[in-house]
Amino acid sequence: MTEGRVQRRLAAILAADVVGYTRLMGSDEAGTLADLKEIRAHLIDPNMAEHQGRIFKTTGDGILAEFPSVVNAVACAVAMQRAMSGRSAKLSEDRRIQFRVGINLGDVIVEDDDLLGDGVNVATRLEGIAPVGGVMVSGTVRDHLGNRLELQFDDIGEQILKNIERPVRAYAVRLDGPEAAPTSPASLADKPSIALLPFVNMSDDRQQDYFADGITENVITGLSRFRDLSVIASNSTFAYKGKATKIQDASRELGARYILEGSVQRSKDRVRITAQLIDGKTGRHLWAERYDRGIEDIFAVQDDVTERIIGSLATAYGGRLLKAWQERPEVAGTRNFEALDYFVRGMESLNRYTKQDNLRARELFEKAGELDPKFGKAFAKLAWTHMIDASDGWSANPEASLACGLKYANLAIERDDAEAWGHYALAGHCLFCGQYERAIVEYQRALELNPNDADVLLDYGSCLSYCGRAQEGLETAQKAMRLNPHYPEWYILQIGQIYYDVRRYREAIAALEGLRTLDTVYQHLYLAASYAALGSEDEAQQVIEHILQLEPRATITMRTTSDMAPYKNSGDLEHLRENLRKAGLRE
């Protein structure tokens, strides 16, 4: 390997191996080698060429190949296996040559013409568990593939693969369906699709190309963790590097509704990074941002800017992609919403934070789940509507509401264990039920699955605060707000509570007084307690009067139960109760 920085890239890897190679060679060595030579020349190599594959390693009984996209890799594998099936049917069983194929999309190390690393190893291990004559793909491949090929898959769950650190979700391709032909971009309309064109290096120094490419790769990888987005793989988008490209052309060729493009310009000790999101159908600019940074630690800058771009684009609350998706012109004419449309409308209702809107959100999430039974996020938010009923005093039977929350949180995980929001909902249920350590574990699991989801991060900050780690919770919530600068008001609502828990009462007041669309008992309780803690009795009493207008029966006992104020430490709960007494709320 050349000295210096290791060269890496994201690649679609195909691993194929002959089944029973030793037996075949023992039975007829010369005939087997002749057959393999014929298969390679007339079946494998033409398919590789047709699908732009490159064989980078061969053994006596197997091959490893890379492709510019998962679409090409899977289409090639399906074509090969179907052709092999037709060929084998004409031969006696002892002469049949059959392959297993595994496909993965992952990070690889480039060493001359060879590729190494886990991206290759996972493909090889998937090949080992593939059925004879079949194709096994990783969950990452399945997610990136979306509906681009007319194929069906069997989810065989998470698999423990030899020498692979974490379980890998695997899918078996059904080969008895129609030919694997690419579908038109219109078939991707069930969720937002985005392609990231390589960021342009505007610096005079061509050595800075690696930094621009790194930003592009990192954002693609980060966005790919959002399972309700279709993200075009980098091998496809990097074909546009250095070319003058019309956005609408790239959108059509890549099958992506939205295009993100950007540039990097470095001079001395500063770097400027710009990014803009464009509707590939209309050419309209939807979002743009500029980031100016010092470059004391260039990789820290790369990671920071990547996180901010992902947070701005992909989060469910305030993310520019879902906002653009909801407002796309063709929706206004037909109102023919599919599962994601119902989900986005449900999020809007939930965000208004009233009892009626919470019920409406529940109906919309239920509809989204009916349309797409594997839509884990819809079931997760359905769980939250029940838990919010309990935590905000809207339920006549809080225990039953929490039980429904647990039911749908578990269903979300069952339907899509790799979706962060199922674990996010389960974490909320654990918190409301006083299972603090498990709540933290589930939040951490959610963030392992998607570390850039600002919504999960914000609620995790609130959980930490309830668990007696308020300062850590504040720092976590502030990071969430940096990741999602278009945050909704409920972010402010929750950080107001965290400021109170940290005893930063003036900042709590500033946050809670700044709310414009929300008017909840929850926010006013913390506002009244903050005024009381500062000795501002008149202001505290005015807030209490407003609370009683919203909920005439409100008392300290009723509003500080374990499901409404789930503090782990009795001292933190008493801190709230004592200041509510000072504010004048009856016991």
The HSE-up count of residue 444 (CA atoms within 13 Å, CB side) is: 7
For 432-443, write each residue's pLDDT tens digit. Answer: 999 999 999 999
Query: How far are the Cα atoms of 208, 490, 509, 511 from residue 547, in angstroms, in the given order?
Result: 58, 18, 16, 18
144 vs 307, more confident: 144
pLDDT of 227 over the 90 cut = no
Most confidently modeled range among 138-142, 145-149, 492-496 = 492-496
pLDDT of 10 over the 90 cut = no
Among 132, 155, 183, the domain-final residue is 183
Q: What is the pLDDT at residue 335?
A: 33
pLDDT of 511 over the 70 cut = yes
581 vs 452, more confident: 581
Closest CA to 517 of 384, 353, 361, 391: 353
Do 239 and 151 lie in a common domain?
no
Identify the CATH number of the domain in which residue 175 sits.
Answer: 3.30.70.1230
Q: Give the β-pairing of 152-159 and 168-174.
A: antiparallel
Residue 378 forms part of a structural domain: no
Do 195 and 166 lie in a common domain?
no
Do 165 and 196 lie in a common domain?
no
Q: What is the pLDDT at residue 178?
A: 46
Residue 564 forms part of a structural domain: no
> Rounded to an integer, what distance in angstroms lies between the CA atom of residue 154 and that of residue 172?
5
Residue 131 forms part of a structural domain: yes
Q: Look up the pTM and report it.
A: 0.56
> Rounded to an integer, what distance in angstroms lies between the CA atom of residue 84 and that of residue 175?
12
Q: What is the pLDDT at residue 289?
A: 81
> Rounded to an integer, what distance in angstroms lies between the CA atom of residue 296 and that of residue 20?
56
Do 117 and 155 lie in a common domain?
yes
pLDDT of 502 over the 90 cut = yes
Most confidently modeled range among 1-10, 165-174, 206-215, 498-507 = 498-507
pLDDT of 501 over the 90 cut = yes
Per-residue confidence band for 13, with pLDDT thresholds at 50, 70 and 90 = very high
Per-residue confidence band for 322, with pLDDT thresholds at 50, 70 and 90 = low
Do 91 and 65 lie in a common domain?
yes
Q: Within a 10 A sphere around the Cβ of 162, how many other Cβ atoms?
A: 9
Residue 250 forms part of a structural domain: yes
Do 14 and 135 lie in a common domain?
yes
Share of the chain above pLDDT 70, in %: 86
Do 29 and 138 lie in a common domain?
yes
Element (H, E) at 542: helix 537-550
Annotate 99-112 with b (16+ C-beta within 10 A) or e (fewer).
Answer: bbbbbbbbebbbee
> Rounded to an integer, what distance in angstroms lies between the CA atom of residue 11 and that of residue 17?
19
Q: What is the pLDDT at residue 154?
A: 83
Residues 6+ apart with CB under 8 A from 80: 16, 43, 44, 47, 99, 101
Q: Region 505-513: what's the mean pLDDT? A: 90
Residue 277 forms part of a structural domain: yes
Element (H, E) at 306: helix 298-314
> Rounded to an integer, what distance in angstroms lies between the CA atom of residue 572 and that of residue 286?
44
Q: What is the pLDDT at residue 190?
A: 52
Place of tokens 């509003």: 559
Task: Report the range of poorest mean pLDDT among 154-158, 371-375, 531-535.
Answer: 154-158
> Rounded to an integer, what distance in angstroms lies between the CA atom of residue 341 and that of residue 336?
9
Q: What is the pLDDT at residue 429?
A: 95
Per-residue confidence band for 136, with pLDDT thresholds at 50, 70 and 90 = very high
For 15-63, write each residue's pLDDT tens digit. Answer: 999 888 777 887 788 888 888 888 888 889 988 998 999 999 998 788 9
Q: How many domains does the chain have?
A: 2
What's 137's DSSP letter? Answer: E
Among 183, 210, 237, the domain-final residue is 183
Do 145 and 208 lie in a common domain?
no
pLDDT of 530 over the 80 cut = yes
pLDDT of 179 over the 50 cut = no
For 393-440, write each residue's pLDDT tens digit. Answer: 898 898 999 999 999 999 999 988 878 899 999 999 999 999 999 999
pLDDT of 149 over the 50 cut = yes
Residue 448 forms part of a structural domain: no
Do 152 and 225 lie in a common domain?
no
Do 161 and 197 lie in a common domain?
no
Per-residue confidence band for 120, with pLDDT thresholds at 50, 70 and 90 = very high
pLDDT of 194 over the 90 cut = no
Residue 35 forms part of a structural domain: yes
Identify the CATH number of the domain in which residue 309 sits.
Answer: 3.40.50.10610
Residue 225 forms part of a structural domain: yes
Do 206 and 176 lie in a common domain?
no
> Rounded to an integer, what distance in angstroms lies between the CA atom of residue 133 and that of residue 149?
19
Closest CA to 50 of 75, 69, 86: 75
330 vs 112, more confident: 112
pLDDT of 135 over the 50 cut = yes
> Rounded to an integer, what distance in angstroms lies between the CA atom of residue 311 and that of residue 457?
11
Q: Region 78-83: what's the mean pLDDT? A: 90
Q: What is the pLDDT at residue 587?
A: 92
215 vs 532, more confident: 532
Q: Region 154-162: what's the mean pLDDT? A: 79
Q: What is the pLDDT at residue 362?
A: 95
Place of tokens 């300290």: 556
Residue type, 56: F
Q: Region 490-507: what's the mean pLDDT? A: 93
Residue numbers of the domain that contains 250: 188-314
pLDDT of 102 over the 50 cut = yes
Do 37 and 107 lie in a common domain?
yes
- Alpha-carbon dihedral sign for residues 300, 301, 304, 305: negative
Among 314, 336, 360, the domain-final residue is 314
Residues 6+ apart with CB under 8 A from 155: 169, 171
